[in-house]
Chains A and B, each alone.
Chain A
Amino acid sequence: MTETTTPDAPADIAPVEAADGTARMNMIQAINSALEVMMERDPNVIVMGEDVGFFGGVFRATAGLQAKFGKTRVFDTPITECGIIGVAVGMGAYGLRPVPEIQFADYIYPALDQLVSEAARLRYRSGGEFIAPMTVRSPFGGGIFGGQTHSQSPEGIFTHVSGIKTIIPSTPYDAKGLLIAAIEDNDPVLFFEPKRIYNGPFDGHWDRPAKNWSQHPAGAVPQGYYRIDIGKAHIVRPGEALTILAYGTMVHVCQAVIEEAGIDAEIIDLRTLVPLDIATIEASVRKTGRCMIVHEATRTSGFGAELSALVQERCFYHLEAPIERVTGFDTPYPHSLEWAYFPGPVRIGEALKKIMKDA
């Protein structure tokens, strides 16, 4: 697998502490903190993956862990994603809680059989005799000029599979609490980390100066243990005009767009795709009568299609306009043209006009 440079990689992993027990963290630091907290609490938690050991990961998410917990709990692996996940299944069956890293979600496909046919089905096929608790961390999504092999959002491939949970955090606070919950979960969890917002929330305007997490409320992260339950969405912004369903990077882009447009939208950060917090979605769409779904992944058979179907099935008589899907295009993720692919403020703005036309 090829390497890429990462934008604004944090030079120092140590978070900035505050008096209230929280610290200012970016998402990498929050993930690092979650791993450290869980490794301290549970000797069965181990971390493995390509470059995660001595080096601490290409995004530095595992920095310092090997020095603290030793090489038998934090180690580099051969470059075989099939092997990494297959080995993690065996470790889970033994009684460990492996947290394997797949360096980029774009490289997860060699592990597909071990995830889909093995990890996801072991509990079911063995009548509960064996389980494969594991949290597969993987940076995903574009917006960093990573080209087609460092930018994809393959979550829809996994939400289609029975027996696997899919989590996508959008803030440092959520990332830590959700990662801790994932590691404690007894089912396999895919934990996709939106790498564009590792260092700061992104408003979708790629040509404006990048922000960091230091000013964002969710950049204040408790230093110890806490968990955010899997399967619970977060209403980022209550509103009456329409419901926007988003996750990961797109939560921040949507927030910026509706603020600029002055629309009173309710933005729901799904946080977990499977199991989905359908109750929060239903209540919101029944209230607003309009639903827009935004994701960066390709459109056809994307998770937005599932969301659209669910909202139509459950809220049809409350809908005042057709559901809008705003997504990436059905192309490979382009390199130089990535901002033409990305569902940014223009595409979201056009969809907003359409869905609000008769309001």
Chain B
Amino acid sequence: MAGDPVRPNLQPLTLHVPEPKFRPGDAVDFTEVTLPPAGEVRRPDTADRADGFIDLAYELIRVLDDSGQAVGPWNPRLSPETLRAMLRAMALTRAFDERMFRAQRQGKTSFYMKCTGEEAVAVAAAFALDYEDMCFPSYRQQGLLVARGWSLVDMMNQIYSNKGDRLQGKQLPIMYSVREAGFFSISGNLATQYPQAVGWAMASAAKGDTRIAATWCGEGSTAEGDFHSACTFASVYRAPVILNVVNNQWAISSFSGFAGAEATTFAARAVGYGIAGLRVDGNDALAVYAATAWAAERARTNHGPTLIEHFTYRVEGHSTSDDPLQYRSAGEATAWPLGDPVKRLKDHLIAIGEWDEERHAAQDVEVAEEVKAAQKEAERNGILGHGLHQPLDTLFDGVFEEMPWHLREQQAQMLAEEAASGRPWARK
């Protein structure tokens, strides 16, 4: 019988259900988060066997120290020009997010997702990869497109599902697909891109190509079977792929403990697969760059995959559809001990005498203006809030390469419905 102990002489079992440290209203104290000083973690050779540096899956690679200096063996020694370009791409990503989030709140589109606080994870990786390398992102790596110099107008056209939308209004806003910029179609289903990236990388290797693949998923998605299938394939065939886990602590309202963070790190997932595993400070653009460059070199020299955990924090809600104040403490974002990635890179540039507050303030204005101008241009193609912008019959395009009879019939039916109904879907 349920509830009745069958063997009362034995200790009853208990079920552990994880609970985050802080809920709404709680004072936040992150002193339990272990942060080794910058520059302390060793940097193995990219050709070393993965089981020779298992400790790196439990450490935290950091380059920028508290005084804004780049220190230690992982310092990528980037030129001031590259550092400033990275800083600008991160600032532009943040400005883009702010503008598009507001556009959703203004009813101009249905959905948006910000990457605030995680800009370094995508932007620094884009700088460390070759432009020809193929990215299989999740939905929070818009920084890849921005860093690769992709048109903001084109991204906004997709967000607005307007007549300039390269995806013809078929996909949820921000689920970009930009083949030209090496950016694979975002699914929305979680971690499905992981085995796909491995497959792309295997194909590249099988063909004797020189390009590698990189993919991203959140820490919550590492629980999906696809993640583990991908790790197995990547390990077995030594696929030239970089497997990024963006540990931003939250999967909508579920904290990282529901993906296993109470027991171990996410980089440690690599250990069981015999994959190189690195754990990096995801708010340190130089650490992200260095780890990505290390993994890229390892992949390019046929030493196989690397799994990188980016330890970071999701500053905003999951999307425009949730209010994080309902499930976590409002104090978390400001108390996050790894700081703001934009500010940290800015402080570094100032510390080395290559930037100053005035230039930064001017850049903030400049990127905001760039985003505003792009928005104005994109809105000339229409916004979702004003109705549909694609011819209705395109609804049936692209299900198959050639449209079979049953879709042609349904298409004709839809057009007849439209004619009979007085065109309620027509744009205003």
User: Are B399 and A130 in contact, CB atoms less than 8 angstroms apart?
Assistant: no
User: Are B399 and A114 in contact, CB atoms less than 8 angstroms apart?
Assistant: no
Number of A-B contacts (CB under 8 A): 147
In angstroms, Cα B336 to Cα A51, docked, is 50
B406 in contact (CB, < 8 A): yes
User: Are B230 and A91 in contact, CB atoms less than 8 angstroms apart?
Assistant: no
User: Are A275 and B398 in contact, CB atoms less than 8 angstroms apart?
Assistant: no
B71 in contact (CB, < 8 A): no
Report the minimum CB–CB distance from A11 to chain B (whole Å).
Answer: 31
Contacts of A88 in B (CB 8 A): 199
Report the minimum CB–CB distance from B375 to chain A (whole Å).
Answer: 22
User: Are B398 and A124 in contact, CB atoms less than 8 angstroms apart?
Assistant: yes
In angstroms, Cα B233 to Cα A125, docked, is 26
A118 in contact (CB, < 8 A): yes
- A187's nearest neighbour on chain B, judged by CB, is B400
B184 in contact (CB, < 8 A): yes
B232 in contact (CB, < 8 A): yes
In angstroms, Cα B399 to Cα A96, docked, is 20
A83 in contact (CB, < 8 A): yes
Report the minimum CB–CB distance from A119 to chain B (whole Å).
Answer: 10
Residue among A80, A95, A131 with the highest chain B CB neighbour number at 10 A: A80
Interface residues of B in 216-262 (CB under 8 A from A): 225-226, 228-230, 232-233, 236
Contacts of B236 in A (CB 8 A): 78
B204 in contact (CB, < 8 A): yes
Residue among A46, A72, A127, A130 with the highest chain B CB neighbour number at 10 A: A127
B46 in contact (CB, < 8 A): no
User: Are A82 and B225 in contact, CB atoms less than 8 angstroms apart?
Assistant: yes
Report the minimum CB–CB distance from A81 to chain B (whole Å).
Answer: 8
User: Are A129 and B179 in contact, CB atoms less than 8 angstroms apart?
Assistant: yes
Report the minimum CB–CB distance from B300 to chain A (whole Å).
Answer: 17
User: Are B195 and A123 in contact, CB atoms less than 8 angstroms apart?
Assistant: no
Of the four ranges (under 10, 10 to 19, 20 to 34, 35 or more), the interface on chain A belongs to 35 or more
User: Are A275 and B189 in contact, CB atoms less than 8 angstroms apart?
Assistant: no
In angstroms, Cα B398 to Cα A94, docked, is 19
> A80, A90, A129: which contacts B196 (Cβ < 8 A)?
A90
Contacts of A275 in B (CB 8 A): 400, 404-406
In angstroms, Cα B400 to Cα A123, docked, is 7
Interface residues of A in 50-82 (CB under 8 A from B): 72-73, 77-78, 80, 82
User: Are A77 and B187 in contact, CB atoms less than 8 angstroms apart?
Assistant: no
B175 in contact (CB, < 8 A): yes
B171 in contact (CB, < 8 A): yes
In angstroms, Cα B333 to Cα A273, docked, is 54
A5 in contact (CB, < 8 A): no
Report the minimum CB–CB distance from B181 to chain A (whole Å).
Answer: 11
User: Are A90 and B185 in contact, CB atoms less than 8 angstroms apart?
Assistant: no
User: Are A163 and B195 in contact, CB atoms less than 8 angstroms apart?
Assistant: no
Contacts of B168 in A (CB 8 A): 127
> A87, A274, A278: which contacts B195 (Cβ < 8 A)?
A87
Question: Binary interface profile of A, 300-339, with partner B (CB < 8 Å = 1, else 0)?
Answer: 0000000000000000000000000000000000000000
Given contacts A275-B404, A275-B406, contact A87 B196 (CB under 8 A): yes
Residue among A86, A110, A114, A124 with the highest chain B CB neighbour number at 10 A: A86
- A86's nearest neighbour on chain B, judged by CB, is B195
In angstroms, Cα B402 to Cα A165, docked, is 12
Measured CB to CB, the residues of B under 8 A from A are 134, 136, 165-168, 170-171, 175, 177-179, 184-185, 187, 189, 192, 194-204, 206-207, 213, 225-226, 228-230, 232-233, 236, 397-401, 404-406
12 A-B pairs within 8 Å (CB atoms) are namely: A72-B206, A78-B229, A83-B198, A86-B198, A86-B230, A90-B197, A92-B199, A94-B200, A114-B195, A125-B170, A126-B167, A126-B171
User: 15 extra interchain contacts, Cβ-Cβ under 8 A, other than A87-B233, A128-B398, A129-B177?
Assistant: A78-B232, A78-B233, A78-B236, A83-B198, A86-B199, A87-B198, A91-B199, A94-B199, A96-B203, A118-B189, A118-B196, A123-B398, A125-B171, A127-B171, A187-B400
Name the 9 nearest CB pairs between A and B, nearest first.
A86-B195, A90-B199, A83-B229, A87-B199, A275-B404, A90-B196, A126-B185, A94-B203, A90-B200
